[in-house]
Amino acid sequence: MYLDKIKKIKDLDFKNKKVLLRTDFNVPLDKNGSIQDDFRIKESLKTIKHLFSKGASQVIIMSHLGRPQGFDKKYSMNVIRDKLIKLTAKRIVKLDTLVDLEEIMPNSAEAKIVLLENLRFYEGEQNNDDDFAKSLSKVADVYVNDAFGVCHRKHSSVHAITRYLPSCIGLLVEKELSIFENMLESPNRPFYAIIGGSKLETKIPVIQNLVHKVDKLFLGGGMIFTFYKVQGYSIGKSLYDKNNKVMAKMMLNNEKIILPKDVIIADDKDEPSQFLSVTIDKIPSYMMGLDIGDESLSYMIKEMKDAETIVWNGPIGYYENPLFAKATITLLKELAKSKAKVIIGGGDTSFIVERLNLKNDFYHVSTGGGASLKLLEGTGLVALDVLIK
């Protein structure tokens, strides 16, 4: 797919070079602005260390954080700088602006590691603006993309930038691609997939691609209620994607696709006054489905025991409320003990894994939800397509 077509760190010379490194340090912050999960930051440290081992004179790190509309102090990269200092025990010089970058950039004698301000404070980033990319490129000799979580975005710092500097992928992106490509091309079997989430529309391409590759495909999350609706069941106030009802009906013809037989329902997803477990034909009009029921959860756990490879993308319940996180958490804990190669496909599922302190119990936990989703769809990653010569 990609690994044999694009340049990697081993293919470029970094000796005495200034390296512009795109990372994905878009980490979740709590209400006080503190980092909740530093997984993505830790995963790029190997690339930073490797660049210096190959003789780089300076590493200039750039990333985005959050979804600011212009400059927003709460999304400043200061919190990332402080975390990097703790993790690397090195001096990190952080720049407060990207305006006139050439003029304010310290030389390598003054700063070995420089952290740029949030890329998304500037319109040029998300517009894939050539001038913005050119201004970034002028401070470095080589560009390295280690931001797997942004590889599906056509943004200046991962796309347009490659026109102006010799470019390659970093160790983290290489690792992610290797694991996903091996899994999709030559998995150990039985190969099972678990696909959850609330929006059926975003998961249809994933289901369509994976169903031809896996031995069984288990569905969960809010999107399952569209499948029940097209079978004639009452789903109450549950999520329903009427725009994709025809596609859902067609998918039901594939015997590899397995839906839960019972669900947890409630009268409100955030502050329920009542909730209970019912079979899918017993959902009252005033209730909504919010998790997988115990019978279906037990069935999934039993079926997973003979798997050799498992890929999971998307929570199988409304995990934001602990009352409806049981199936997701229980299944994760069970799979953490599995003999199978379990690959967690980024996004919310990876965040839950980190919160449960289970990351080291899985074969791989991806740093990119949207990017891993694109790989599972079998579609391209625009930031990597531009690297193919």
3-state secondary structure 296-356: HHHHHHHHHCCCCEEEEECCCCCCCCHHHCHHHHHHHHHHCCCCCEEEECCHHHHHHHHHC
| CB neighbour list of residue 250: distance below 8 Å, 6 or more residues apart | none
293 catalytically annotated: no
Residue pair 77/115 in contact (Cβ under 8 Å)? The answer is yes
170 catalytically annotated: no
Which listed residue (54, 199, 245, 256) is catalytic? 199
Which listed residue (17, 18, 22, 40) is catalytic? 40
DSSP string over 274-298: -EEEEETT---TT-EEEEE-HHHHH
The secondary structure of residue 247, as a DSSP letter, is H
The secondary structure of residue 222, as a DSSP letter, is T
| CB neighbour list of residue 70: distance below 8 Å, 6 or more residues apart | 121
The secondary structure of residue 117, as a DSSP letter, is P
Which listed residue (66, 236, 370, 380) is catalytic? 370
3-state SS assignment for residue 1: coil
Which listed residue (347, 368, 369, 374) is catalytic? 347
| Angstrom distance (rounded) from CA 198 to CA 232 | 20
370 catalytically annotated: yes
199 catalytically annotated: yes
Residue pair 141/17 in contact (Cβ under 8 Å)? The answer is yes
- Peptide bond between residue 190 and the one before it cis (omega within 30 degrees of 0): yes
Catalytic residues: 40, 199, 347, 370
